[in-house]
Amino acid sequence: MSARVLHVAVCVLGLVFGFGRGVAVADPALPRVIAAPTAWLPPPGGLVATAGGGVGAEGFGEAGEGLLAIEYGLGALAGIEVGVDRDLRGCMACATERPEGLWLGRAAFRLGARQDAWFPGMPALLVGLRTTWAARGHAFGRARAAELYLVASRVLGPVRVHAGVQASDAEHRGGGPEGESAVRLGVAVRPLAGLEWTPRDLPRSTLLADVAWLPRLAPSEIELEWVAGLGVRYQALSWGAIELAVRNRQGDGLAGTTVMVRVHGVWAPRAARPRRARQLARASEK
């Protein structure tokens, strides 16, 4: 155990000193492409909110999507997000019925360094943990899911590229009495990827594509399924955007694709806005 503790301590210290070396500002702010997380952080003291829903083959009720989340920026270093979503799915009789989305309360803590913070050309780097704080209203008792991810993001001209790795785990008790043996996934590592492209002629529009992995719950097992998304985000306001996307999951076929609409809002305090940040930096240099 002591070797494991030492290993964890060394990794954590490396991250602390790494992320503490410097911070730039004016990166994008949205924490996810469609499902895949990005390495962008909210502005210091600012808020990033996302709300949306989607319909599947049977409408919103079963296979539909849903997301409501708000993230607060902790001093240009980190962000904490609280919300609910239907990213995880479950089915009691998976051979005969389609999995349905499960409403889960989710929270995330993300600690990162912005682009060019350590050296020119460095991508934004972020380590995040997302876990469950509530699971009610469905057959999977005490369902829990957690994802620990490391992701890098970089703006390359009109393109923003995201790539990372994610360790996922999930568990449920199958709706049985308290103390019944749990069904657990175990830690599984999968890649993450995302792409955003803003054409030069359409500076307010961004084409989105990503792939991520999410747990699917069944009474006797839990397995990871890939989720691929494709969409368009339109920056309608300086602080707000609307997004239309489609999402397809492993085993659903084309007919099981869901269509989603999301809105995003980013609010930054005056001191965190880029121009103000530059003024503050100049003042501190003097």
Partner 1 sequence: MTTRQGLILATVLATAAIARAQPPPTDSPDTRPLTSPLGPPLTPPLGPPIHPMPPADPGTPTEIGSDGTDDAPRPGSSPGAPESPYVPEGLPPDVGAPTIPELPRKKVRRGPIDMPEVLSTPTGWLLPAAVVYSRTSLDTGGGLSSDMRVGLGDVAEFGIATTDAVRERLHDADPHATRIQPYVTASFRLGVSEGLLFDTQPGVTLGFRKSFERVHDGFTTRIAELTLVASKHIGKRVAIHMGGAFWDASLEGDLDGVDGSPRTLALHDGLMREQIRAFGGIQVEPLPRSQILVDLGWSPEFCYGCVRDDDKIKLRPTLAWGVRYAVADFMNLEAGVRVPDIGDLNLLDAQIFGQVTFVSWALRRAVESLR
Which residues are at the interface with partner 1 (CB under 8 A)? 1, 4-5, 8-9, 12-13, 16-17, 19-23, 44-45, 72, 74-78, 80, 107-109, 111, 129, 131-133, 144-146, 148, 167, 169-171, 179, 182, 184, 187, 284
Q: Is the CB of 77 or the CB of 92 nearer to partner 1?
A: 77
Please state, in angstroms and rounded to a whole number, the distance separating the CA atoms of residues 229 and 212: 9
Helix (H, G, I), strand (E, B) or coil at 285: helix
CA-closest candidate to residue 147, choices 124, 163, 127, 162: 127
The nearer residue to partner 1, 81 or 196, going by C-beta atoms, is: 81
CB of 165 to partner 1, least distance (A): 14
Residue 137 CB, nearest approach to partner 1 (Å): 17
CA distances from 207 to 37, 110, 267 (A): 16, 25, 23
> What are 189's two structure tokens?
């590592």
Q: Which two structure tokens, joined as six digits, stand for 22?
A: 């410097």
Nearer of residues 110 and 249 to partner 1, judged by Cβ: 110
- Please state the closest distance from residue 197 (CB atom) to partner 1, in A: 32
In the complex with partner 1, the residue whose CB is nearer, 136 or 204, is 136
What's the closest the beta carbon of residue 181 comes to partner 1, in angstroms?
9
- Nearest approach in angstroms of CB 219 to partner 1 is 19
42 versus 229: smaller Cβ distance to partner 1: 42
List the structure tokens of 76: 């240009």
User: Which distant-in-sequence residues (6+ apart) come within 8 Å of 282 by Cβ?
Assistant: none
Q: Is the CB of 90 or the CB of 229 nearer to partner 1?
A: 90
Query: In the complex with partner 1, which residue's Cβ is closer, 80 or 244?
Result: 80
CA 166/CA 49 separation, integer angstroms: 23
Distance CA 118, CA 99 (A): 44
In angstroms, rounded to a whole number, what is the distance separating the alpha carbons of residues 148 and 88? 16
CB atoms within 10 A of CB 96: 7
Least Cβ distance, residue 184 to partner 1 (angstroms): 8
Smallest distance from partner 1 to CB 55, Å: 29
Residue 18 or 61: the one with the smaller Cβ distance to partner 1 is: 18
CA 44 to chain centroid: 19
What whole-number distance in Å separates Cα of residue 164 and Cα of residue 210?
A: 12
What's the rounded Cα separation, in Å, for the pair 264 and 257?
22
Shortest gap between Cβ of 225 and partner 1 (angstroms)?
A: 19
Q: Looking up tokens 């501190």, which residue turns up?
A: 284
